[in-house]
Amino acid sequence: MLALAPLNVDILPDDCAVLKGLLVKLHAQYGAAIEAMHQQILKLRHAQFGASSERLSTQTDLFAEILVLPLPPVVKQKISYERQRKGRPALPKDLPRQRIEYHLDDQQMAEFDSVKPIGEEVSETLQYTPARLVVLEHARIKYACTKDGQSTVRTAYAQPSPLPKCNADASLLAQILTATFADHVPLNRQSMIFGRHGFPVPRSTLDDWKLGSAELLEVLRAPLIAHTLSAPRLHSDDTTVQLRDASKDTTHTSRLWAYLGAGQRQDDQGQWVEHPPSVVFEFTRTRQGIHPQRFLKDYRGYLQIDAYSGYDALLKSGDIVAVGCMAHTRRHFFEVARKDPNPQGLAAQALAWIAKLYEIESHIKEHPPDKKLLTRQTQSRPVLDQFHTWLVGHAPGIPARSELGQAFGYALRQWETLVRYTEDGILMPDNNLIESAIRPVAVGRRSWLFLGGERGGHVAATMYSLIGTCRLNGVEPYAWLCDVLKRLPNHPVTKLAELLPFNWKRQSINRT
């Protein structure tokens, strides 16, 4: 730790007025920097020890204003007094059921002259059947075949495993992929689980099966990318993953980029039709802007992003229109309001403006895009105009380097993209959809810690794309993987799009 040099009081002036002037000069020179460092320390402490929820602990009354500026709106919170249900939760109706009947035994019936059933009382319990491993013997029958006096031997065709020279069935490969990329279970734990079921398979073997089956599924990336880039709107963001360098026995930060396509468009009859949502991940070693520029070089339309400068080159042509993220703006103000002892501070007032915008969105979330557009133009746009006036009025009195000044600066710099969602009903006010799609990566890396190499990075990108698309379309990933892995080796290359989760029609699945 660096030690400060001792202060020599003999060199300080004795004149009180000169001392005051020196203090004023030092405050002007270092005050903002000290405050910025103080805010950074508070932010780091909260990131390490604080709660992650973006909720303030106090209700605020936001009426006090010094400047003659628009007052922040008072957002009415709907309080529900719905009585909580007590007792056991209802069991899902779509689960398979097995009926067990209970009758009076012979001794009980012998107590009466006549016994006749008149009804029944039914109660339900949920039974759990543990996973089990079964060895399937694939017997390919040989036939002695004769034609035109010539004999030959013909053996029935069978492909026991999707992978060559592999004794893992499609159902087992699907389980390994689902456990790794949907349930975030590391391979060493999976190895222990299989060992308890009587099959002590090494982790290295599981890794080979995982990589091989995921690379078999990579043929679905091309139709998935084409579908994603044809969406009415596109969301994009990236997240970090640690990549292991085996030659140096170190790790460095690499990236998984996510591109999510969604939205609605009108058909020939003028009806609004939902574009099936999909997400594509791409693995790269760096965060250079050339990566999204390459991936999106042929895309035309709306792109919802954060303020990362790597997207700037894409926006210069005008073919891609940037849409900002109100959630990012809110997050900056929330970090200040959370630490501000004044419940009527400027950060809390900014949150009230944003809460009003989301209150409007909560009433129209089920409306078609044309009705959303009308409501945003008549209700959201006036609130945004007042919010902008409020931001411009208060910004000059806030130190630019302070955390509050950075929040104001972000909102004003991004204002053109932040209000763009009011220009088209297919757009959203924030990029939360892509952040939700990226969250499984953040959860998973807490378990598997790092990627074993670039091959693993590309496999992770493929599997997070396919399982993420399953999740967006309400498709159970194990069932989809089990069926597709069986069909893929013999499926026509020209019809791969049929196997994508939103087009998938299930065939028979054996989960034994």
**pLDDT tens, position by position, 186-224:** 999 999 999 999 999 999 999 999 999 999 999 999 999
Distance from the Cα of residue 213 to its chain's centroid: 24
Domain ranges in the chain? 325-430
Read off the tokens for 440. Answer: 């499984």
The C-alpha atoms of residue 112 and residue 130 are separated, in whole angstroms, by: 43
Query: Helices then strands (H, E): number in the chain?
Result: 17, 9
Indicate the pairing of strand 264-266 with strand 142-147: unpaired
The C-alpha atoms of residue 354 and residue 348 are separated, in whole angstroms, by: 10
The C-alpha atoms of residue 347 and residue 28 are separated, in whole angstroms, by: 24
Contact (CB, 8 A) for 178 and 511? no
Read off the tokens for 510. Answer: 């054996």
φ/ψ of residue 57, rounded to 5: -85, -5
**pLDDT digit string, tens, across residues 214-261:** 999 999 999 999 999 999 999 999 999 999 987 778 899 999 999 999
pLDDT reported for residue 195: 93
The C-alpha atoms of residue 313 and residue 295 are separated, in whole angstroms, by: 13
Name the strand (E) or helix (H) holding 144.
strand 142-147
The C-alpha atoms of residue 296 and residue 288 are separated, in whole angstroms, by: 14
Contact (CB, 8 A) for 257 and 465? no
The C-alpha atoms of residue 426 and residue 368 are separated, in whole angstroms, by: 8
At 43 the three-state DSSP class reads helix
φ/ψ of residue 357, rounded to 5: -65, -40
Residues 6+ apart with CB under 8 A from 349: 62, 72, 390
Instruction: Single out the residue of 445, 177, 414 nearest to residue 306, CA to CA.
Output: 414
Contact (CB, 8 A) for 372 and 362? no
The C-alpha atoms of residue 228 and residue 276 are separated, in whole angstroms, by: 9
Q: What is the DSSP letter of 219?
A: G
pLDDT reported for residue 187: 95
**pLDDT digit string, tens, across residues 98-154:** 999 999 999 999 999 999 999 999 988 888 888 889 999 999 999 999 999 899 999
pLDDT reported for residue 87: 66
Contact (CB, 8 A) for 217 and 488? yes
Q: Which residues of the chain have pLDDT under 50?
A: 1-2, 57-67, 508-512
Report pTM: 0.82
pLDDT reported for residue 63: 36
Other CB atoms closer than 10 Å to residue 421's CB: what's the count?
Answer: 27
Residues β-bridged to residue 244: 251
